[in-house]
Amino acid sequence: MKKIILTGILCAGLFFYTDAQTTIKPDSVLAIMNKAAHWQIGRFEAGQVKNAEIGWENAALFTGLIALKQLNNEKTYDRFLYDIGERHGWDMGPNRFFADDYCVAQMYTSMYLEHRDPKMIAKWKLLADSVVAKAYNESLKVVPNINHREWAWCDALYMGPTGLALLSQATGDEKYLNKADSLWWKTSAYLYDTTARLFYRDSRFFEQREQNGERIFWSRGNGWVIAGIAHMLDLMPHNFVHRRHFETQFKEMATKIASLQQADGSWHASLLDPTTYNQKETSGTGFFCFALAWGVNHGLLDKHTYLPVIDKAWQALITAVHPDGKLGYVQNVGSGPIKADFESTNTYGVGAFLLAGTEVYKLYK
């Protein structure tokens, strides 16, 4: 009953919200995005980023920088991303069928679509051809190294499919998008709880519970997924065979996620236990803010219902930015909820922040 009341408040009680009530200005959105981006690039230049340069953590950052670059094509951003590609020969990580290790292909393919330099996607296309040819016939139950063979964890739905969909756009060959589609729905069938309308991180969490007795639905994990749906919808044709399935899952998750927003506009690390994890968490919040704003911008979500949620989420994000541009409250690397604080940061959180900002900017431009 409580959940029904919350959803009712979201869908009905906020109906009369108007654009005039917001204090968000596009120029201020772009300014704080640039500040966060420059701070993060400065950490690379100072050698203060500990993650593997083309690992998933930084690859998620690059997706945010690509989005920002489309709004503000600073030469600094293009040169930074180009230099990353050059240093690594436009190649992926060492585990060839591990989605985390080819997340960086999203940046390579986006750069190719702008610059049309074949070297940027040559190695990715060879690997993607192998992904297309692979059978993917194992169970997704967590066993040793299953993630190196299957998309057996929900994060993979951000890491893997967008790069494949982008490659279809780059080459005109829909086989890559088709493979991303089939693998998406295999993972979804296993990890998506149709009652909760949320994703488990992986099979280890099916029976686990939080301190309050609720099931464990990880904020960033679900952020990876709903952001991944938005990316996929951006890249698939309007007549694509399963487009309506993606739209339905997106709307289901959006409704549920909006109903779980906390009073300060954020989402905490554990979606159903915000008391144990009693601080905001900006990587999940960033992805949720991005996805909800994207949904409004693309006509999938009702503007009057979701604008208050988006505005509060953006305010929660910008109050986590330090004066020098560092983004705080980013949960550290993990496979489930972990507490974060004002000093906690990581590159994927900045990527989520930049994605959110690009859609908020468009919303009010």
Angle between helices 282-297 and 243-259 (to 10 degrees): 130
Across the range 124-128, mean pLDDT stands at 98
Across the range 227-235, mean pLDDT stands at 98
CA torsion through residues 331, 333, 337, 338, sign? negative
For the cut 50, the answer to whether the pLDDT of residue 133 exceeds it is yes
Per-residue pLDDT band for 280 (boundaries 50, 70, 90) equals very high
Angle at 129 between CA 244 and CA 186, to 5 degrees: 40
Across the range 17-23, mean pLDDT stands at 57
Across the range 152-178, mean pLDDT stands at 98
For the cut 80, the answer to whether the pLDDT of residue 154 exceeds it is yes
For the cut 70, the answer to whether the pLDDT of residue 176 exceeds it is yes
Q: Which amino acid is at 69?
A: K
pLDDT reported for residue 113? 98
Structure tokens at 22: 């917001």
Domain layout of the chain by residue ranges: 2-364
pLDDT reported for residue 15? 34
Across the range 100-123, mean pLDDT stands at 98
For the cut 60, the answer to whether the pLDDT of residue 13 exceeds it is no
Q: What is the CA radius of gyration of the chain?
A: 19
Per-residue pLDDT band for 22 (boundaries 50, 70, 90) equals confident
Structure tokens at 63: 């997706």
Mean pLDDT of the chain: 95
For the cut 50, the answer to whether the pLDDT of residue 143 exceeds it is yes
pLDDT reported for residue 19? 47
The C-alpha atoms of residue 128 and residue 237 are separated, in whole angstroms, by 20
Across the range 297-310, mean pLDDT stands at 98
* Cβ 227 vs Cβ 158: under 8 Å: yes
- In sequence order, the 6+-apart residues with CB closer than 8 A to the CB of 350 are 36, 37, 40, 61, 64, 327, 330
pLDDT reported for residue 56? 98
For the cut 80, the answer to whether the pLDDT of residue 8 exceeds it is no
The torsion angles phi and psi of 288, rounded to 5 degrees, stand at -65, -45
Angle between helices 347-364 and 303-318 (to 10 degrees): 140
The C-alpha atoms of residue 38 and residue 53 are separated, in whole angstroms, by 17
pTM for the whole structure: 0.94
Strands (E) located in the chain: 192-193, 198-199
**Alpha carbon 55 to chain centroid distance?**
15
Per-residue pLDDT band for 50 (boundaries 50, 70, 90) equals confident
Which are the catalytic amino acids? Answer: 155
pLDDT reported for residue 23? 85
Across the range 235-256, mean pLDDT stands at 98
CATH node for 2-364: 1.50.10.10
Across the range 225-248, mean pLDDT stands at 98
In three-state form (DSSP H/G/I as H, E/B as E, the rest C), the secondary structure along 73-115 is CCHHHHHHHHHHHHHCCCCCCCCCCCHHHHCCHHHHHHHHHHH
pLDDT reported for residue 109? 99
